[in-house]
Amino acid sequence: MANFHYKGRDPSGDLVTGDMDGSSADEVASVLVDRAITPIEIRQVKVKPKNTKAANDHSAKKKEPITTTEAVNTFLAGRKIEISELIIFSRQMYSLTKAGLPLDRAITGLQSSLKNKAFKKVLKDVVLGLESGMNLSSSLGRHPKVFSPLYLALVSVGESTGQLDLAFREVGRYLELEKNTRKQMKSATRYPTFVMTAIVIALGLISYYVIPAFASTFARLGAQLPLETRILIAVSDFVVAYWAYMLAIFVGVVVAWRAWINSPPGRYIWDRVKMRLPIIGAVFERIALGRFARTFGMVMRAGVPIVQGLGVVAGAVGNKFVGSRVLRMREGISRGESLYNTAVQSNMFSPLVLQMISVGEESGAIDELMAEVADFYDSEVEYDLKKLGDAIEPILIIFIAGIVLVLALGVFLPIWDLNSAIR
């Protein structure tokens, strides 16, 4: 028998609290219902060991050192929960809930098959929440870093409508599309990132090792060096003398940058600026608008009220600037304006998209047309990412050619001058 602390409401609506012994939270809930008390929260109370020996044994067990093998396994298992793991979890929950398996048993079974210990810990806490009387969306909501507001909203609607399996299916599809978008972005930026990293490393090695060797040779000859060579030698001397300070400044700038963009004002400004960047800004804008259309269509199809749905969508677009425009649309709809008018005032959508929003609002098929808008933006993003590689490649070639030209002029001009002087 375990001891449970409960909170509930009596027939008059007054709050009732107390403790009760029982074999499970379901048994305590049944007893409360028989007493005409509607349970709100039921949680198991931890009982302290009654004797000192048990307490000492528990303490000794708790302080038992972690072996090297366990530490390595924990590290390899990972602490971060990837989007692919959420996709698998959503698909499995769709199958299990469709089969009618109880939620606590379904999640417990999935928990035992996971390799990621961080995700296992999250699901274990979710099961504890279910056993204490909480619904699934509330239990998942205790981990906002894992489950997004959109995820929680769809699960909540699925619970209230009795279509939890369909909610998990929709979430799985959305996460799969989100994963493909991220994969396309990484694929488009992998080559430029690799090239720029190689260039920085090569310049560092040339400045630290190669140019000083040439400088010492030229100094022994005592010849008058060209301007390009003197500039290269001055840059090399500066790098050799102050490389530690340069590295510290670089690390400090990166840390300060990450802290700034993680703050609410910094994130809002950066999300607004990056959509106006040359070449890549349009890609960021279309990705955010595609997420808006897809998530808005999903919450409308799930039956979420439009005002509440726009609040969920604002947090799911992944862009604070676009999210603020979505919240402005929600305020306009709360005042009684139409969805089309608020979309026009947001200055985010093209005339084609605005026309589809207008038709969807008139026909009552806004969810279907929003899915069409999302597909349109996804195709545009895919096309833009393909063009991005074609646009960046010549820029990188010109940049590398310029660096090679400067190095060649700085190193070979004095050699040519020395040959001329000898002749």
pLDDT at 71: 46
33 and 122: one domain?
no
Strand duo 15-22 + 38-44: pairing? unpaired
- Predicted confidence band of residue 40 (pLDDT cuts 50, 70, 90): low
The angle that helices 351-363 and 339-346 make with each other, rounded to 10 degrees, is 170
134 and 211: one domain?
no
Return the CATH number at 389. 1.20.81.30
As a whole number of angstroms, the distance between CA 168 and CA 93 comes to 7
Please say whether the beta carbons of 96 and 106 come within 8 A: yes
39 and 79: one domain?
no
Condensed to tens digits (0 to 9), the pLDDT of residues 122-139 reads 999 998 888 888 888 888
Please say whether the beta carbons of 333 and 339 come within 8 A: yes
Condensed to tens digits (0 to 9), the pLDDT of residues 19-29 reads 877 767 767 77
Please say whether the beta carbons of 145 and 296 come within 8 A: no
Does residue 58 fall inside a structural domain? no
139: amino acid identity, one letter: S
- Mark which of 95, 128, 147 sits at the end of a domain: 147
Please say whether the beta carbons of 15 and 41 come within 8 A: no
Does residue 43 fall inside a structural domain? yes
Mapping DSSP onto H, E and C, the string for 143-178 reads: CCCCCCHHHHHHHHHHHHHCCHHHHHHHHHHHHHHH
As a whole number of angstroms, the distance between CA 135 and CA 164 comes to 12
Please tell me the least confidently modeled range out of 108-112, 132-136, 382-386, 409-413.
409-413
Condensed to tens digits (0 to 9), the pLDDT of residues 136-186 reads 888 888 888 888 877 887 888 788 777 888 888 888 888 888 888 788 778
Overall average pLDDT of the 299-322 stretch: 82
Please say whether the beta carbons of 140 and 126 come within 8 A: yes
Does residue 119 fall inside a structural domain? yes
As a whole number of angstroms, the distance between CA 179 and CA 90 comes to 14
If you average pLDDT over each of 94-108, 200-214, 302-316, 397-411, which comes out highest? 94-108
Does residue 273 fall inside a structural domain? yes
User: Looking at the DSSP assignment, which residues form a beta bridge with residue 4?
Assistant: 20, 44
Query: Contacts by 109-117 with C-beta closer than 8 Å and gap 24+?
Result: 114/85, 115/77, 116/77, 116/78, 116/81, 116/85, 117/74, 117/77, 117/78, 117/79
39 and 110: one domain?
no
23 and 119: one domain?
no
Overall average pLDDT of the 44-48 stretch: 61
Q: Give the helix/strand (H/E) hosting 350.
A: none
pLDDT at 286: 86
In sign, the C-alpha dihedral spanning 90, 310, 180, 144 is negative
Q: Which two three-digit tokens encode residue 9?
A: 């409401």
Q: Which two three-digit tokens encode residue 68?
A: 């090297």
Please say whether the beta carbons of 111 and 120 come within 8 A: yes
Domain of residue 330 covers 177-423
As a whole number of angstroms, the distance between CA 281 and CA 391 comes to 13
Which of 297, 313, 277, 284 has its CA nearest to residue 381? 284
Contacting residues for 188 by C-beta, under 8 A, at least 6 apart = 385, 386, 388, 389
Q: Which conformational region is residue 300 in: left (phi greater than 0), alpha (psi within -120 to 50 degrees), or beta?
A: alpha
Condensed to tens digits (0 to 9), the pLDDT of residues 92-104 reads 998 988 888 888 8
pLDDT at 250: 92
248 pLDDT higher than 60: yes
Percent of the chain with pLDDT over 90: 6
Please tell me the least confidently modeled range out of 112-121, 214-223, 251-260.
214-223
Q: Give the helix/strand (H/E) hosting 7.
A: strand 2-9
Please say whether the beta carbons of 312 and 302 come within 8 A: no
Quote the mean pLDDT of the chain: 79
44 and 85: one domain?
no
112 pLDDT higher than 90: no
As a whole number of angstroms, the distance between CA 347 and CA 338 comes to 15
Number of domains into which the chain is organized: 3
Which of 146, 140, 144 has its CA nearest to residue 81? 146
Does residue 170 fall inside a structural domain? no
pLDDT at 270: 92
Residues in the chain: 423
Percent of the chain with pLDDT over 70: 85
251 pLDDT higher than 90: yes
238 pLDDT higher than 60: yes
Does residue 219 fall inside a structural domain? yes
Does residue 303 fall inside a structural domain? yes
305: amino acid identity, one letter: P
Q: Give the helix/strand (H/E) hosting 22.
A: strand 15-22
231 and 97: one domain?
no
Please tell me the least confidently modeled range out of 63-77, 101-115, 210-224, 233-247.
63-77
Name residue, tokens 């379901």. Answer: 26
- Say what the alpha-carbon torsion angle 355, 360, 363, 368 is, to the nearest 10 degrees: 140
Name residue, tokens 């998209």. Answer: 353
Does residue 158 fall inside a structural domain? no
77 and 39: one domain?
no
User: Looking at the DSSP assignment, which residues form a beta bridge with residue 9?
Assistant: 15, 38
394 and 287: one domain?
yes
351 and 273: one domain?
yes
Which of 394, 392, 379, 401 has its CA nearest to residue 190? 392
As a whole number of angstroms, the distance between CA 149 and CA 293 comes to 16
Look up the pTM and report it.
0.66
Condensed to tens digits (0 to 9), the pLDDT of residues 63-75 reads 344 444 444 444 4
Please tell me the least confidently modeled range out of 17-26, 200-209, 270-279, 368-377.
17-26
330 and 188: one domain?
yes
As a whole number of angstroms, the distance between CA 423 and CA 115 comes to 74
1 and 126: one domain?
no
